């Protein structure tokens, strides 16, 4: 039986309206977390995730926040009600890709937006969260195998943004280890969500060593393990959820 109130404390999941973030919010609620769902455009989807968390007996709400906007992020963390419990978890999940393009084809606006959402957004959310984690906590950054593989011919800008996120994991983990705050990355491979261009999963899935793409729930399981006390001596590390590549 899951605990009836959020004994693990409060978790903020950015990009919690869809895909990996929504699956993470739901599983975390089932494991005893109260959940604040951050979203940018998916108000109805976020409300459905909140309803699912509440149905498990948890406190949950949804807040619209573009993670690339500092005022939005300050509001996301600054408006937490007392009944939500102490902030002990952050999943830096919100992220974007662009259309397939070579580096030679990239324009500055696209690169800037990629870095603002995937890197600046994660930094701002981490900053606001750890300022409030008074009795320890856990941050999980949702990176990508692209950070290692490079995504040549598709989106090197995205891959580079995730490599920057991985460096945030390494450095922040060292800064915070003495305060009982752990910081880790999950690096998904090809996962069945709406982030992909039409046909991409079908084209690339058979080339994954396990012969298939992964599910958002499979990534959520790894994220929630890193959030949990079972990962109590794990910090500054990278967990690939990618079917072998
Ligand atoms: P998704 O289904 O497209 O969902 C993306 C989520 O991020 C949505 O909830 C979206 O919110 C939110 N979001 C986008 N821009 C935002 C912004 N500026 N501010 C706040 N929220 C924003 O994608 P996903 O596949 O679940 O991806 C989640 C994370 O996993 C991303 O960081 C992605 O890079 C990473 N990842 C995914 C894969 C994969 O194969 N799927 C592989 C490796 C890594 P709204 O819908 O409310 O706008």
Ligand 1 atom index nearest CA of 42: 47
Residue 191: pLDDT over 70: yes
Segment 174-184 mean pLDDT: 98
Segment 103-117 mean pLDDT: 98
Q: Tell me how far the alpha carbon of residue 231 lies from the centroid of ligand 1, in angstroms.
A: 24
| 155 catalytic per annotation | no
Ligand 1 atom index nearest CA of 23: 26
Segment 200-227 mean pLDDT: 98
Cβ 67 under 6 angstroms from ligand 1: yes
Give the pTM. Answer: 0.97
User: Tokens 């499979």 — which residue?
Assistant: 218
Q: Which CATH superfamily is domain 10-241 in?
A: NAD(P)-binding Rossmann-like Domain (3.40.50.720)
What local confidence, expressed as pLDDT, does residue 6 receive?
83
Q: Tell me how far the alpha carbon of residue 41 lies from the centroid of ligand 1, in angstroms.
A: 11
Residues 6 or more apart from 11 whose CB is under 8 A from it? 25, 28, 33, 34, 35, 36, 88, 89, 90, 91, 227
* pLDDT 10s digits, 129-158: 999 999 999 999 999 999 999 999 999 999
| Max CA pair span of the chain | 54
Segment 204-214 mean pLDDT: 97
Residue 1: pLDDT over 60: no
Residue 3: pLDDT over 60: no
In sign, the C-alpha dihedral spanning 65, 68, 70, 71 is: negative
Residue 2: pLDDT over 60: no
Residue 149 CA to residue 188 CA, distance in Å, equals 12
Residue 39 CA to residue 41 CA, distance in Å, equals 6
Residue 4: pLDDT over 80: no
Cβ 6 under 6 angstroms from ligand 1: no
Cβ 17 under 6 angstroms from ligand 1: yes
194, 195, 199, best to mutate for ligand 1 pocket (most atoms within 8 Å of CB): 195
Give residue limits of the domains in the chain: 10-241
Cβ atoms of residues 60 and 37 within 8 Å: yes
């Amino acid at each position: 039986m899951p605990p009836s109130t959020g004994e693990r404390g409060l978790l903020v999941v950015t990009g919690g309206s869809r895909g990996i973030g929504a699956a993470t919010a739901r599983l975390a609620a089932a494991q005893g977390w109260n959940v604040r769902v951050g979203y940018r455009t998916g108000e109805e989807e976020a409300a459905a995730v909140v309803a699912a968390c509440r149905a498990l007996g948890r406190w949950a709400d949804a807040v619209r926040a573009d993670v690339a906007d500092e005022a939005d992020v300050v509001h996301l963390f600054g408006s937490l009600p007392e009944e939500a419990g102490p902030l002990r978890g952050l999943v830096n999940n919100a992220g974007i890709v662009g259309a397939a393009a070579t580096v030679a084809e990239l324009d500055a606006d696209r690169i800037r937006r990629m870095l603002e959402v995937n890197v600046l957004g994660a930094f701002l959310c981490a900053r606001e969260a750890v300022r409030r984690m008074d009795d320890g906590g856990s941050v999980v950054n949702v990176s990508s195998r692209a950070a290692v593989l490079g995504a040549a011919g598709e989106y090197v800008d995205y891959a580079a943004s995730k490599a920057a996120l991985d460096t945030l994991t390494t450095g922040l983990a060292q800064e915070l280890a003495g305060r009982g705050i752990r910081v880790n990355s999950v690096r998904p491979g090809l996962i069945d969500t709406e982030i992909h261009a039409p046909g991409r999963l079908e084209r690339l899935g058979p080339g994954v060593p396990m012969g298939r793409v992964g599910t958002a729930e499979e990534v959520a399981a790894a994220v929630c393990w890193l959030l949990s006390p079972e990962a109590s001596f794990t910090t500054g590390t990278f967990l690939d959820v990618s079917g072998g590549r």
